[in-house]
Chain A
């Protein structure tokens, strides 16, 4: 009778050791990210700078006399909150307003709390800090001052933005 190759104690223990090593890896410092798509690019903000994700079907009302990057305002539980588009700042074409997965991130940075329009929320997740890679020198010049790290997320290249720096740059780009 043919027998299955037996598993040795050594193999069992080695496997256990690998598993326990993986468990230790989980204890590695994590960082929470809000990962999203804007036009055809993927970005993330640190979770700490985003307070809330708001359904994209929320009414946003145009306010006259504002810079073109201001989409308008929304009424969030009685508070009037601004909604900005970052497409211009990030050198992206205007998004399609019919995008069904659009959402609004309510975030804070540079002394401003505002809604930020996104085309799709991909995930709100914890990632190991070791997965965050330093920005490449080949990044476009307009992005370099805004980017804190790069990340491979399920095969997608994701650019981690610093919301403080993004909103500072947004203010500096206003006439």
Chain B
């Protein structure tokens, strides 16, 4: 069964993932250089204080730092479990980095597109 390597973390009661091949660094949270916070991308998301910063390679080969509030885990997601956003959600999403959903541990996991983080 084919799988996709992702990095998974929780934010509030939600699960998020980024493709592991785009992750270039993981370090303790630092406000410098100013990282992106998920609630900036996804208004209304309730999150914990940031503990780590994930360095993610963007489409233009830059490093984008994303602040996260829990320790990320490396997970092999079955490709069968990953689905594109349903059409209604593609229209209703507030940020284009929301790219897919996967069913993981009996709940949805939001898969972000690291190339579109900014």
Contact = CB atoms under 8 A, between A and B. Distances in A.
A79 B83 CA distance: 8
Interface string B18-40: 00000000000000000000100
B58 to A, nearest CB: 18
Secondary structure of the B side of the interface?
A: mixed
B59 interface: no
Secondary structure of the A side of the interface?
A: strand
A114 B85 CA distance: 11
Contact of A61 (B43, B91, B108): B108
Contacts of B38: 64
Contact of A82 (B86, B94, B103): B86
B42 interface: yes
B108 A73 contact: yes
Interface of B: 11, 13-14, 38, 41-45, 83, 86-89, 91-95, 98, 101, 103, 107-108, 110
Given A64-B14, A64-B45, A65-B44, 18 more contacts: A61-B107, A62-B14, A63-B110, A65-B43, A65-B94, A67-B92, A67-B94, A69-B92, A75-B108, A79-B83, A80-B86, A80-B101, A80-B103, A82-B87, A82-B88, A114-B86, A114-B87, A114-B88
